[in-house]
Amino acid sequence: MKDNFEPKDNIYKNQDHQAEDQVEGRNSVLELLESKKDINKIYITKGEKHGSINKIIAIAKERKIIIVEKDKRQMQKIANTQNYQGVIAIVPPFEYCKIEDILDLAKQRNEEPFILILEKIEDPHNLGSIIRTAETAGVHGIIIPKRRAALVNSTVNKVSCGATQYMKIARVNNITDAILKLKDQGLWICGTDINAPKYYYDQDLTRGPCHSYRK
């Protein structure tokens, strides 16, 4: 693999270049590779050819994805997180979906729609954790607002352990309008309240109107 050096001012930083995004960490990059989604290139730290890095390199070569070796100093400049584990994948920006896409997925699976609506989740670590849990719980999709909320970025991807590659996420201008739209489709809306008398895991979410419950 050839080491392609780039001018300092061309080194990609996620917050400055909206044309690309990046996925960092071995597990997250592996999930990305296995999801078959587009990858522009993969950066590997020189000397990191051991363990799961070898698997990443093998799959990338099979998919004919460009692999570029860089020294540790260069990798640290590219990385958006400290724990990038010697591998960074440069990808097209995260593709948000429409609410209809989430409903269509539930229909394709012949399941009742299970949608998570988030508001004021500004910490990307929290968003990543929620996406990871939602994916394992069978959630069909997540709705987030366009303003005052964390976006799907490299930190969210890392914390979610790659779950963002499988989760449909819609960004909307107005959460209230999104809720009304879902109600028109026959969905029951359940809200969380810290003072509610029942915890969410004690609530039957499979039938009838749900009252507020504790989170």
Return the closest-CA partner of residue 87 out of 99, 75, 104, 77: 75
Residues 81 and 107 in one domain: no
- 121 within 8 A of 94, measured Cβ to Cβ: no
CATH number of the domain residue 115 falls in: 3.40.1280.10
**168 - beta bridge partners?**
141
pLDDT at 2: 40
Domain boundary among 43, 73, 91: 91
CATH number of the domain residue 50 falls in: 3.30.1330.30
Report, in angstroms and rounded to the nearest whole number, the Rg of the chain calculated over CA atoms.
20
pLDDT at 20: 64
Burial 144-156 (b: 16+ CB within 10 A, else e): bbeeeebbbbbbb
**142 - beta bridge partners?**
116, 169
154 lies in which domain range? 99-184
pLDDT at 57: 94
pLDDT at 3: 41
Q: Tally the domains of the chain.
A: 2
pLDDT at 18: 41
pLDDT digits (tens, 9 = 90+) for 110-123: 999 999 999 999 99
Helices (H), the chain: 26-34, 52-62, 72-78, 99-108, 124-136, 154-159, 175-184
- 80 within 8 A of 22, measured Cβ to Cβ: yes
**43 - beta bridge partners?**
68, 88
What residue type is assigned to position 55 of the chain?
Answer: K
Task: Using 50 as the pLDDT threshold, list the residues of the chain that sit under it.
Answer: 1-19, 208-215
pLDDT at 101: 97
Residues 105 and 170 in one domain: yes
Q: How many residues does the chain have?
A: 215
Helix axes 175-184, 99-108, angle to 10 degrees: 30
